[in-house]
Every structure is written in C-alpha cells, then in structure tokens.
C-alpha cells in the first residue's frame, strides 16, 4: 500500500488539481503483480500508469532501468516523453526518461544498451529486438515495472502476442516484475486482464469514471448522400461550416485513399484558406512529422486523417471529431470520439457523416449502439504459433536456452496458457530444422541441442538474420514515392507495388494531397513530378479494411424488419422504399438473392448478413460451385451483409448453389486451394521465419530469381500436407478470414427460403457493393475464356491472326 | 492436347503447357532452367528452410512429359542445377528418379550460368547444342539466328478487365525462341522488361502456359 508522498501532493495542488481516484488506486495497489486500468482518453490514464514509478524513483537510489513503457505507436512514445517532462521537471525528480523506437539513432541505441535510463519508452518490436541481444539480462537488470499502453489495441493483433511472449521472457529475467495495462473502454475487461497477467497470477481491474456520455450525432446536410460510393464529398460545405465553428477538428476516414480524395476536395472548397493538414500511414515520415508539429503548436484548424491518429495521442486542443464513412464497429467509434475534448468532465463531441445511403443506415445503428454502451468484439483465439516460432528463434539469438524452461515461460502468457508441449515441440523442431517430413536440412540445422541439453544457434552469425526478420506486421509490398530530381527528391510516401505496376508514365495519382505524374521506377522507388492541373487517377492504397461487426449487422437487419424508418433521414427512407419497390429488403428468416447485368458481366448478390468473414467464405464456396456448373465466375467481393459475384453466365438457380449437401466437404477441399489461404500462408511464413521479409534492397536483384510464396504453399500441400506451417495457416485463416460456422447458422436460419430476384439493372441496395475494395479474383474457366478472347482480339489488332 | 504448334526457322516445333519444347522430327524434348536443388542452395547460403520438395516436383513433371512423348533426346538447356554443390547434394530418391528418366535415351546437360561445369550424374555435358537448322544455348546471344535459349524465365502479364494475370510463357520471333523456366521454384521476368524487351523484335509472340495455352503478341503484354 503506497500513499501519495507530500512532494506529489503539493505538485497536484500547485496545478489546482486533486489526483483522480483511479490514479490513487493504481498507486495503492502498486505492488500487485498485474493491474488493468480501464479509463477514457483524457482521464489522466498515462499519469496513473507512471505515478507509482515516479514515486518509487523519487529518492534517486534506483540504479538502471526501473520502468518499461510499451506503446503501439512510435509517435505515442515520443508524445509520452514530452508529457512526463512536466511532473519530472517541476518536482525536480532525479529520473532519466528516454524513448527507443525504429526512429532512434544508432549511437543513441548503443548508448541505451550500455547505460539504460530509469524509464524507457518503446514499442513491441523494439522490445523484441532488445530481448534478442546477448546482453539482455544486463540491460533489464533491476527492472521493476512494465506499463503497456493502449493494450486494447495491441491485443487485437499479433503484435500483442509478440509483446506478451516478450514479457514472459522479461519475467524470467526480472522475477519481481509488475505489469500494468492501460486500456480504453472494451467489451470484455476480464479477458483482457487474463491476457495481460503472468498466468495464473490474478489481475485486478480498475475502472475509472467513464465521464459524461458523448455528444454524438449524424451531420445534417442540405445535399443527400449518393446511392453508392465513399468519401463523403457531398458533405464538404457542411463539414467546412463545422470546422469554422470549432477550434480544431479531426476528420477521420476509413481508408487512406478516401482521405486523400477528400482532402483534395476539401482544399478546393476551402475559400477561406483555413489551415488544414492531412495525416495517414502511407505518407513519408517527414510529412507526418510536419503535420504533427503544426498540430501540437495549435496551427491547424482541421486534420484529415485515418487510423494513424486513432490512438490516444494528446495533441493540441481537439474539440470536434468528424467520422466520414460509417464507423465499421462501435468500439472503434467510441474510441475515436474519445479523441475530442481531452478535458475529463466535458462530453466528447462527434459527428458522423455517412458516405452513401447504406451507410446512413449503418450510422444510425452505430449511434444507437454507442448510446446504449453496447460494444462489440470477437473473443480471441489461442496464441498464434507463427509468433511462437519467431519468439523461439529470437530467444536463441539471445543465447542458449533450455526447452523445458522456455515452455514454462511461454505458457505463462495468457494467450499461450493452453499450448500443449507437443505443439511447442513442433514449433521448436520447425525453428531448428524446418520441420519437414523429408529431413533435408539436418546438415544446415539452425538450432542444435548441445551436450548439456541446451538449444543454441548452430552458426552465431544467423542471429543477425533472425533480428532482421523480427516483428509481426506484414505490409503489402510498398514502394517509396519521391519527387524526381537530380538530388534524389523529396520523399512523399509509399504506394503498394501492384498499384505502381499498374501505372504508365504520364499517369497521375494523389499522394499527400497533391496530384503527381508518374515518371518511372528507379531502383524500387516511384519517381514522380508535380502535376497540379489534371484530374488524378486515384492512388489505391490497400489500407486497412475494417469490417462491420456482426452485432451492427444484426441491428441493421432488425431495422429492416420493423419497416420503421423514423430514425432515418428522408432521402434514406426514400432509398429503402425504392429498394422495396424494385426488389425487396433482406429479412432475417429468408435469403434475398438479386441477379442483374452490369458492366458486361452477370452479377449475383447474396444478402446473407453473416459478417464479412462468413460472406467471404460463402463467396469462395459459391464461386467454386459456379465453376463446376460452368458459369465462368470471375471474381467476388464480400461485405458484412452481402457477397457480390460476377461471372460470364448468369446464375439461374441460387438454391442449387446453396444446397447444404456436400458444402462441408467442399469447404474442406476448398480450404486448401484458395487465395485467402495463400495470403494467410505468406504472412505466417514470414512471421515464423520460413521466408525472409522482402527488404527493398534485396528485391533490387534479378527478378527472375524471386518467386511467389504461393509456389511454396502449393508444394507443401502436395508433398508435406501435415507440415506445421499448413496447420498454422489453417488455424489463422479460420480465426480471422474464413468462417464456416456462421454460414451453417445462416443456412439453418433461412432454411432454403430463397427469394431470387432477376432484374435488368443494379438495385439500390447492391450499388454500394460495386465500389467495395478487396475484390477476390477467381482463376478458373471464366478467366481462361476471357484470356482466349483477349488473345484473339490482340492478335487480330496486331494483324497476326 | 494442350500445346501450340508453330514453325520456327524451318523446324516444326510444339510449345507444351508444361513449359517444355517438343521437336517431333528429331524426337527431341527441351526443358530449360530446372534449378534442381534450389532449396538446398538457399538453405546453405541464407539459412532459410524452404519446403525441400521442388526437385522431386520438377522431376515428376518432367517424367510426365517423357512418358507422354518418349523422346530420343532430352536436352536440359542450362541452369538445370541451382549450383554444382546442389547437384552433389541431391537426395538419393531424386538421384534414382533422375537415373530412371535418363535410361535408354540421349541426355544432354547444356551449361548455364548456375551450373557451368559437368555434373556427376551421367549424360553429356555441352556448352551448346548445334542441331541444324537450330542452335540451342542457355543465354541468347546478340545477333544470333535460329537460336533456342532459356535463362530469362519469361512471363507475360495480361489485363482482363480490372484484373491482371501473369503466366510463364515462350517468346518467339523470326530469329529466336526463349523457353520459360521448367523448375518448380522459379519466378519470372516480364517480357515487357529489359533486357527481354530489346532482345525480342517488335512482332514477337508469347505462348502463355495455362489450362489452355494461348498465343499473344508479346508487345500487348504489360
């Protein structure tokens, strides 16, 4: 039990404040092995996390590292360093605080390893790297506390699993280590507490006062939103009015491409020359830092941004958050709203701007859910084994280890508590030899068991390669974009390689709010020149594709069932009425299927409302059956509520395609051969250390020497179907990308009651799907037929036929 | 049968969907860039353990072509092994599989940049094969005529509406024919990229491998 010392008491008093109850609660329980604090943004959450450290370090006797702070964002670490300066300087505390991220200089990082500060602020990736050094025990000697910030965000991805394995390692190096997690509002706090704690130690949950309910509404505009499309261009005049009426407005978009287009349109309409910036993860660091600095200095009235500003960075005086496009899940909406009004007792103010009429319905459903405090989320599965394989390699890079000890350590991480010894041994075997049935690599073995039973790297030089491959973030292959000039040119940001490959010299695209002209590719860098006066071909950033939670989908379907449009604006009510006239609205106990021609192809839309993963799985299964039926499916796109398939020939009998007989078997055979599995395999193979990350320098070499990871996947399926990597791929795909269980539920729900509407044009409800990103192509007879046609036409055009 | 027959410098040839070239008059089967033992070389050089099954997969596919065509001569047109040590490290099963394929026919290893010296596996080692009217060598030479080569692993990218597909291909113009890579662990060089682009004449054709082979003007590929 620790009380607030007088020096701290006086400091709060000097600022005319009293500590928040949850700040004192964390201090009182400072000796607990694990604590989880759930507090809204602006609730003094970070100070609550650090207060026990500041108190313990105040007498200046502690030598070496005392507290490790982990955040998901580099920018957050830098921001916290700034914020910690105030109490430390004002109370003249003898505490050294430093940050360490991928941006920290080499000299600085060297020095930190030799002489660590009292408080080190870092990211999961930098921690993994530190732990992989041979001198890790010395670096972390004396460590008392670890503070994990935004743990709710980390827990949603493999970065969190990597971090928790890292903490299990730290716990062995520093047995008394105490853990604190700081989280925004989440749906299942006890699950997050189990995730944080050193299993099976308990973890107390401390919930701060959530503050007043947010002031949140849909933006009213004179112009109605379009039927389809994203971006919210129609709302620009109304949004500009709001920007004028507030000090600082954050304008969130769901994708980077949308943010770019919107920023350009907003700028063209900005006749008052209000200072407005853009911020997203594809922009060059220099560009982002300029915007961040201007924001801290209070020089910007609005920032158009994406999830890169999502986490609790305390920058400037934001008094309004605008969300353009439907918030795809309620939890994210609530967390974004938390960005406004960082004063604890004022309600957060937010406006939702639906980009099209379907999103109006989604926004209304999200508003109702947010006001009801009804958060959504899926339970996490067991800890992913590709991350474990990487952890085993990283541990070996730090020095020899004992398998029993490492197994005990790993199972102390909540997510891995149920990992069997056999599963662990399979991962160890994979790390050592590749784990193939054909023992081809015994002569090159990566890890060897020494006479004393310890496992060690066969060749110590491989530690360098292991470190280079650390991390769990797998980006699409990105190329840097620079202005073309003799001195190298200003970096502008990054685009995906497949987008760059689609450009011809002279094409224009948007990046960082400017239109640039593609000049060419030089050494894996896209060179561009300024081109202010042409209409851009839009940059297609893969970006993050959020999916609407099933909980929101269910609310929407329920709204359709009631036929009560009173919560909806007039234009949207009209739109739904039109859908009812030309076709019908989806219902809970029936399946609506619409077929119509569009763009020279037959289209069929299945409104299953089973969530994006299930709809994607259904798309893959249906196209497989269409292939068998000779309909020439070419591709599909799935959303949370529907899957849209295009094909050469139209679907006449959707009932036959949906027949449940054999669907389960088809699912199992299909699972092995589809594109989603290959994508999952690539990510898992990189994380597990089967293939190296594509470093840009490496890809410069001859292209014919590199080959696709799809070939590796196919080869494994054919010759070693029991291999660990295939097992991991299947598990990962079933966890996130495919979902057969919900399809079975849906089929049971509709019980073959199918309403098939054959129409001569796109319906109001189907229109938004035509603009969805994430189209999945089908390589089948349809593609063969198209290719044969294209070949004939091209030969004829060239006069060669 | 899934193949494209064509005339090249007076020889009637057939481009097969497997990536092999068949010359029926001479009963000669040519395959290029097998890169046998690639996973072994990668493990040795970089420490990455790729699935070590590419050699048997490549040999299985070669066996299927040999069974279908009963060639009198099999010509491996260079880069048959990923390096000479990979040849020495071949698995015993793969070695006996290769011996079965070689039995009863003429077998030529043309040298490539990856495998410049002879291998201890039987067969004849040649720098190039002169088989009038054609000459076979691993890397295309500037100004050569009636030349069949490999090395570049050509592939073609074609836009089908919004979607683009890429497939390995043969490239042919009046003077040259370039074979796709036959090996399982091989990538490709786009036929629109240098040096392939300037190597081939403007009216070159590409024969794309696939469930149904198709011919395209090479200049139309992306």
* pLDDT-wise least confident of A127-131, A338-342, B132-136, B140-144: A338-342
CB contact under 8 A, B48 and A712: no
Q: Please provide the average confidence, as pLDDT, over all residues in chain A.
A: 84
Which pLDDT band holds residue A54 (cuts at 50, 70, 90)?
very high
CB contact under 8 A, A711 and B208: no
Distance from CA of A56 to the nearest CA of B (A): 46
Facing B51 at nearest CB: one of A436, A462, A465: A436
CB contact under 8 A, A690 and B205: no
**Distance between CA atoms of A159 and B143, rounded to whole angstroms?**
55
Looking at residue B207, its pLDDT comes to 96
Contact A796, B220 (CB under 8 A): no
Q: What percent of chain B lies above the pLDDT cut of 70?
A: 98
CB contact under 8 A, B212 and A692: no
Distance from CA of A396 to the nearest CA of B (A): 14
Looking at residue A675, its pLDDT comes to 66
Looking at residue B12, its pLDDT comes to 97
Q: What is the mean pLDDT of residues A219-246?
A: 86
Dump pLDDT digits (tens) for B97-134: 999 999 999 999 999 999 988 888 899 999 999 999 99
Which pLDDT band holds residue A701 (cuts at 50, 70, 90)?
very low
Region class of A784: left (phi > 0), else alpha (psi between -120 and 50), else beta: alpha
Q: What sections of A411-515 are H helices per DSSP?
A: 421-433, 462-468, 497-501
CA nearest to A441, candidates B53, B158, B35, B219? B53
A334 vs A218, more confident: A218
Contacts with B210 from chain A: Cβ below 8 Å: 784, 787
Dump pLDDT digits (tens) for A467-519: 988 988 876 666 778 888 766 677 777 776 666 666 667 777 777 767 788 88
**Which chain A residue is nearest to residue B154, measuring alpha carbons?**
A704
Interface test with B, best of A715, A720, A772, A775 (most B CBs within 10 A): A715
The answer as to CATH 1.10.3720.10 being correct for domain A215-371 is no
Cα first-last separation, chain B: 28
Facing A784 at nearest CB: one of B181, B185, B212: B212
Position A308 pLDDT exceeds 70: no
Dump pLDDT digits (tens) for A244-261: 999 889 898 877 778 888
* pLDDT-wise least confident of A13-27, A316-330, A585-599, A680-694: A316-330
Residues in chain B, overall count: 222
CB contact under 8 A, B51 and A716: yes
Q: What is the mean pLDDT of residues A280-304?
A: 82
Interface test with A, best of B40, B50, B203 (most A CBs within 10 A): B50
Which pLDDT band holds residue A725 (cuts at 50, 70, 90)?
very high
Residue span(s) of chain A under CATH 3.40.50.300 come to 6-207, 215-371
Looking at residue A45, its pLDDT comes to 86
CB contact under 8 A, B50 and A459: no
Looking at residue A542, its pLDDT comes to 42
Which pLDDT band holds residue B215 (cuts at 50, 70, 90)?
very high
Position A736 pLDDT exceeds 90: no
CB contact under 8 A, A715 and B54: yes
Give the Cα-Cα-Cα angle A76, A77, A82 (nearest 5 degrees): 95
Facing B48 at nearest CB: one of A690, A786, A794: A690
Please give the distance of CA A287 from its chain centroid, rounded to a whole number: 22
Looking at residue A702, its pLDDT comes to 40
Position A455 pLDDT exceeds 50: yes
CB contact under 8 A, A786 and B185: no
Q: Which residue has the tokens 């309409």?
A: A269
CB contact under 8 A, B189 and A702: yes
Contacts with A702 from chain B: Cβ below 8 Å: 189
Looking at residue A604, its pLDDT comes to 97
A450: three-class secondary structure by DSSP: coil
CB contact under 8 A, B47 and A723: no
Which pLDDT band holds residue A533 (cuts at 50, 70, 90)?
low
Q: What is the mean pLDDT of residues A277-302?
A: 82
CB contact under 8 A, A798 and B220: yes
B59: three-class secondary structure by DSSP: helix
Contact A461, A470 (CB under 8 A): no
CB contact under 8 A, B188 and A718: no
Contacts with A782 from chain B: Cβ below 8 Å: none
CA nearest to A634, candidates A598, A662, A663, A683? A598
Distance from CA of A502 to the nearest CA of B (A): 9
Dump pLDDT digits (tens) for A551-591: 777 788 888 888 888 888 888 888 899 999 999 999 888 89
| Cβ neighbours of residue B1 closer than 8 Å, sequence gap 6 or more | none
Looking at residue A620, its pLDDT comes to 82
Q: What is the mean pLDDT of residues A52-73?
A: 94
Q: What is the mean pLDDT of residues A291-316?
A: 75
Looking at residue A491, its pLDDT comes to 77
A8 vs A738, more confident: A8
Dump pLDDT digits (tens) for A704-716: 556 788 899 999 9
Q: Which structural domain range is residue B205 located in?
A: 3-220
Give the Cα-Cα-Cα angle B200, B205, B211 (nearest 5 degrees): 130
Dump pLDDT digits (tens) for A632-675: 999 888 887 899 999 999 999 998 898 877 777 777 666 666 66
Distance from CA of B27 to the nearest CA of A (A): 29
Looking at residue A700, its pLDDT comes to 39
Interface test with A, best of B40, B51, B59, B162 (most A CBs within 10 A): B51
Facing A440 at nearest CB: one of B91, B208, B212: B91
Contacts with B214 from chain A: Cβ below 8 Å: 787-788, 791
ipTM for the complex shown: 0.89
Facing B215 at nearest CB: one of A433, A718, A795: A795
| DSSP letter, residue A225 | P
**Distance between CA atoms of B81 and A556, rounded to whole angstroms?**
60
| DSSP letter, residue A735 | I
Q: What percent of chain A lies above the pLDDT cut of 90?
A: 41
Looking at residue A673, its pLDDT comes to 65
Facing B53 at nearest CB: one of A706, A707, A719: A719
Q: Is the dihedral of CA B101, B103, B106, B107 positive or negative?
A: positive
CB contact under 8 A, A441 and B52: yes
CB contact under 8 A, B188 and A704: yes
Please give the distance of CA B63 from its chain centroid, rounded to a whole number: 15
Dump pLDDT digits (tens) for A164-201: 999 999 999 999 999 999 998 788 899 999 999 999 99
Please give the distance of CA A758 from its chain centroid, rounded to a whole number: 38
Top-confidence range, A378-382, A464-468, B45-49: A464-468
**Residue A656 token pair:** 């036959």
Distance from CA of A123 to the nearest CA of B (A): 27
Dump pLDDT digits (tens) for A70-95: 998 777 787 788 889 999 999 999 99
**Which chain B residue is nearest to residue A599, measuring alpha carbons?**
B161
Distance from CA of A265 to the nearest CA of B (A): 26
Contacts with B54 from chain A: Cβ below 8 Å: 715
Facing A715 at nearest CB: one of B53, B212, B215: B53
For chains A and B, CB pairs below 8 A equal 129
Top-confidence range, A18-27, A41-50, A785-794: A18-27
Looking at residue A215, its pLDDT comes to 82
Facing A690 at nearest CB: one of B49, B161, B216: B49
A8: three-class secondary structure by DSSP: helix
Q: Which CATH architecture has domain A6-207?
A: 3-Layer(aba) Sandwich (3.40)
What SS3 string covers A79-116?
Answer: HHHHHHHHHHHHCCCCCCEEEECCCCCHHHHHHHHHCC
For A658, other C-beta atoms within 10 Å of its C-beta total 22
**Residue A55 token pair:** 């108190």
**Which chain A residue is nearest to residue B189, measuring alpha carbons?**
A704
Q: What is the mean pLDDT of residues B191-203?
A: 89
Facing B51 at nearest CB: one of A715, A775, A800: A715
Contacts with A777 from chain B: Cβ below 8 Å: 163, 165
Interface test with A, best of B2, B47, B88 (most A CBs within 10 A): B47
Position A339 pLDDT exceeds 70: no
Q: What is the mean pLDDT of residues A261-273?
A: 87
CB contact under 8 A, B208 and A723: no
**Residue A207 token pair:** 């919930």
Facing A465 at nearest CB: one of B47, B186, B215: B47
CB contact under 8 A, B165 and A783: yes
CB contact under 8 A, B158 and A779: no
Position A543 pLDDT exceeds 90: no
A726 vs A346, more confident: A726
A364 vs B5, more confident: B5
Facing B49 at nearest CB: one of A441, A635, A797: A441
Looking at residue A715, its pLDDT comes to 93
Q: What sections of A504-611 are H helices per DSSP?
A: 550-562, 570-582
Q: Please provide the average confidence, as pLDDT, over all residues in chain B.
A: 93
A643: three-class secondary structure by DSSP: strand
**Which chain B residue is nearest to residue A800, measuring alpha carbons?**
B217
Position A354 pLDDT exceeds 70: yes
What residues does A350 pair with on adjacent strands? A216, A321
Q: What is the mean pLDDT of residues B206-217?
A: 92
Distance from CA of B91 to the nearest CA of A (A): 8
CATH of the domain at B173: 3.60.21
What SS3 string covers A182-193?
Answer: EECCCCCHHHHH
- The total of structural domains in chain B comes to 1
Sheet strand arrangement including A320-324: A215-218, A349-353, A320-324, A249-252, A302-305, A276-279
Q: What percent of chain A lies above the pLDDT cut of 70?
A: 87
CA nearest to A356, candidates A571, A636, A611? A571
Distance from CA of A144 to the nearest CA of B (A): 37
Contacts with A460 from chain B: Cβ below 8 Å: none
């Amino acid at each position: 039990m620790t009380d607030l010392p007088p020096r701290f008491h006086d400091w709060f008093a000097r600022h005319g404040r009293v500590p928040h109850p949850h700040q004192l609660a964390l201090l009182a329980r400072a000796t607990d092995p694990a604590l989880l604090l759930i507090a809204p943004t602006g609730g003094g959450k970070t100070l609550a996390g650090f207060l026990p450290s500041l108190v313990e370090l105040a007498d200046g006797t502690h030598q070496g590292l005392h507290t490790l702070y982990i955040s998901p964002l580099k920018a957050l670490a830098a921001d916290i360093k700034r914020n910690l300066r105030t109490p430390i300087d004002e109370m003249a505390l003898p505490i050294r605080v430093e940050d360490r991220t991928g941006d920290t200089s080499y000299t600085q990082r060297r020095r930190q390893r030799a002489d660590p500060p009292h408080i080190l602020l870092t990211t999961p990736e930098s921690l993994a790297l530190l732990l992989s050094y041979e001198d890790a025990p010395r670096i972390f000697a004396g460590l008392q506390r670890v503070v994990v910030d935004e743990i709710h965000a980390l827990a949603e991805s493999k970065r969190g699993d990597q971090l928790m394995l890292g903490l299990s390692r730290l716990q062995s190096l520093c047995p008394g280590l105490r853990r604190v997690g700081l989280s925004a509002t989440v749906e299942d706090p006890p699950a997050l507490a189990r995730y944080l704690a050193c299993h099976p130690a308990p973890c107390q949950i401390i919930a701060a006062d959530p503050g007043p309910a947010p002031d949140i509404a849909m933006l009213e505009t004179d112009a109605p939103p379009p039927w389809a499309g994203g971006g919210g261009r129609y709302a620009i005049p109304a949004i500009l009015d709001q920007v004028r009426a507030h000090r600082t407005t954050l304008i969130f978009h769901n994708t980077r491409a949308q943010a770019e287009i919107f920023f350009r349109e907003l700028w063209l309409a900005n006749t008052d020359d209000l200072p407005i910036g853009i911020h997203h993860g594809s922009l060059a660091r220099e560009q982002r830092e300029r915007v961040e600095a201007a924001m801290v200095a209070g020089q910007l009235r609005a920032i158009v941004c994406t999830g890169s500003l999502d986490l609790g960075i305390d920058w400037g005086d934001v008094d309004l958050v605008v969300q353009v496009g439907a918030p795809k899940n309620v939890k994210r909406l609530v967390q974004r709203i938390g960005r406004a009004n960082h004063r604890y007792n004022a309600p957060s103010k937010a406006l939702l701007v639906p980009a099209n009429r379907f999103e109006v319905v989604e926004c209304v459903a999200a508003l109702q859910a947010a006001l009801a405090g009804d958060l959504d989320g899926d339970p996490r599965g067991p800890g992913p084994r590709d991350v474990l394989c990487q952890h085993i390699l990283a541990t070996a890079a730090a020095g020899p280890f004992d398998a029993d000890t490492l197994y005990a350590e790993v199972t102390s991480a909540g997510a891995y508590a149920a990992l069997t010894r056999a599963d662990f041994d399979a991962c160890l075997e994979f790390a050592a030899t590749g784990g193939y049935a054909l023992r081809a690599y015994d002569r090159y073995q990566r890890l060897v068991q020494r006479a004393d039973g310890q496992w060690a790297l066969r060749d110590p030089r491989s530690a360098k390669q292991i470190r280079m491959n650390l991390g769990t973030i797998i980006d699409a292959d990105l190329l840097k974009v620079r202005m073309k000039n003799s001195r190298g040119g200003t970096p502008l940001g990054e685009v995906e390689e497949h987008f760059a490959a689609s450009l011809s010299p002279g094409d224009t695209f948007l990046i960082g709010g400017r239109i640039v002209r593609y000049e060419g590719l030089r050494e894996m860098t896209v060179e561009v020149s300024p081109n202010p006066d042409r209409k851009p071909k839009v940059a297609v950033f893969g970006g993050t594709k959020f999916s609407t939670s099933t909980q929101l989908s269910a609310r929407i379907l329920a709204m359709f069932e009631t036929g009560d449009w009173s919560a909806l604006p007039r234009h949207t009510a009209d739109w739904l009425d039109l859908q009812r006239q030309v076709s019908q609205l989806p219902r809970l106990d029936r399946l609506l299927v619409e077929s119509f021609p569009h763009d020279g192809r037959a289209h069929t839309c299945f409104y299953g409302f089973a969530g994006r993963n299930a709809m994607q799985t259904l798309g893959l299964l249906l196209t497989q059956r269409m292939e068998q039926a000779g309909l020439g499916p070419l591709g599909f796109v799935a959303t949370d509520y529907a899957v849209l398939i295009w094909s050469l020939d139209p679907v006449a009998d959707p009932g036959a395609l949906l027949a449940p007989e054999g669907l389960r078997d088809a699912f199992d055979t299909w699972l092995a051969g589809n594109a989603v599995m290959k994508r999952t395999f690539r990510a898992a193979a990189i994380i597990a250390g089967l293939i190296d990350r594509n470093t840009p320098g490496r890809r410069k070499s001859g292209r014919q020497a590199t080959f696709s990871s799809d070939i590796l996947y196919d080869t494994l399926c054919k010759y070693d179907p029991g291999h660990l990597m295939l097992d991991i791929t299947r598990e990962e795909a079933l966890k996130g990308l495919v979902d057969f269980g919900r399809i079975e539920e849906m089929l049971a729900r509709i019980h073959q009651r199918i309403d098939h509407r054959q129409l001569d044009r796109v319906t109001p409800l189907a229109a938004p799907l035509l603009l969805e990103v994430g189209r999945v192509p089908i390589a089948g007879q349809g593609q063969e037929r198209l290719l044969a046609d294209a070949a004939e036409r091209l030969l004829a055009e060239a006069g060669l036929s | 049968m899934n193949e494209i027959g064509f005339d090249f410098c007076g020889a009637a040839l057939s481009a097969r969907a497997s990536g092999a070239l068949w010359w029926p008059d001479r009963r000669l089967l040519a395959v290029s860039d097998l890169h046998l033992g690639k996973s072994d070389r990668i493990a040795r050089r970089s420490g990455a353990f790729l699935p070590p099954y590419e050699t048997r997969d490549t040999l299985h596919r070669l066996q299927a072509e040999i069974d279908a065509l009963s060639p009198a001569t099999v010509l491996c047109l260079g880069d048959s092994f990923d390096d000479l040590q990979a040849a020495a490290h071949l698995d015993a099963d793969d070695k006996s599989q290769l011996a079965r394929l070689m039995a009863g026919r003429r077998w030529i290893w043309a040298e490539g940049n990856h495998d410049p010296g002879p291998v201890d596996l039987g067969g004849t080692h040649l720098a190039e094969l002169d088989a009038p009217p054609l000459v076979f060598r691993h890397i295309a030479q500037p100004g050569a005529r009636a030349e069949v080569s490999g090395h570049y692993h050509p592939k073609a990218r074609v836009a089908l509406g919004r979607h683009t597909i890429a497939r390995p291909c043969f490239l042919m113009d009046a003077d040259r024919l370039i074979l796709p890579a036959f090996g399982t662990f091989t990538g490709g060089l786009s036929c629109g990229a240098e040096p392939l682009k300037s190597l081939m004449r403007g009216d070159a054709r590409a024969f794309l491998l696939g469930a149904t082979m198709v011919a395209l003007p090479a200049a139309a590929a992306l």
